[in-house]
Structure 1
Amino acid sequence: MIARIWRGWAPPATADEYQRHYASEVAGHLSQVPGFRGARLLRSPDGDLVLFTSITYFEDMSAVRSFAGVSFDRAVVEEAARRVLTRWDEHVTHHEVVVNLGLAGPEPV
């Protein structure tokens, strides 16, 4: 399994809007991607901004490519997200999941 990690920053005034966007539009889009295995959105204060860290899980790099295309290391940031974020990583990182202990609580999106 592959973890795809990306970060974006929003002012407190629009942070909830980004969170809603992720939970609805991003979740809906990802759920249609073959090989998508789940996602987590992390939120924390970062100075005067709110930092979001997105971790999406895919079966393999082929599934990542079906989501992100040929330039799979480039961030996929929809226009709605660009309107509410102040800045974001232009590139993502990919990591092989080598130990998965699971988490208590709701299943990934």
Structure 2
Amino acid sequence: MIARIWQGWAAKATADDYQRHYESEVAGHLRQVPGFKGARLLRREDGGEVMFTSITLFDSIDDVRGFAGDDYEQAVVEDAARKALSRWDEQVTHHEIAVDLGP
């Protein structure tokens, strides 16, 4: 299994907007991708901003490509997200799940 990890930052005033976008638009899109196994959005205060870390899980890199395209290390940041975020990582990282202690 592959974990795709990305970070973005939002002003406190727009952080809830980004979270709602992730819960609705991003979640809806991901659920349509073959091989998608789940996602977590982490949130924490970071100075005057809110930092989000997105961790999405896929069966394989080929499934990641189904979501992100051939240049799968490029971040996928939709227009609505760009409006809510002040900055974000342009690149994502991918990691093989070595140990899974989930239920």
TM-score category by the smaller chain?
over 0.9
User: Which structure has greater strand proportion?
Assistant: 2
Matching residue of 1:52? 52
Q: Distance in 1 between matches of 2:74 and 2:19?
A: 21
Q: Distance in 1 between matches of 2:65 and 2:11?
A: 31
2:24 is aligned with 1:24: yes
Question: What RMSD, in angstroms, separates the aligned Cα atoms of the two structures?
Answer: 0.7
1:55 match: secondary structure: strand
Cα deviation per residue 1:35-80 (whole Å; 9 max; x = unaligned)? 0000000000111100000000000000000110010000000000
In the alignment, structure 2 segments of 5+ residues that lack a partner are: none
2:67 match: secondary structure: helix
Q: How many residues align?
A: 103
1:86 match: secondary structure: strand
| Fraction of identical pairs, as percent | 68
TM-score (norm 1): 0.93
TM-score (norm 2): 0.98
Segments of 4+ in structure 1 off by > 6 A? none
Following superposition, the deviation at residue 102 of structure 1 comes to: 1.1
In the alignment, structure 1 segments of 5+ residues that lack a partner are: 104-109
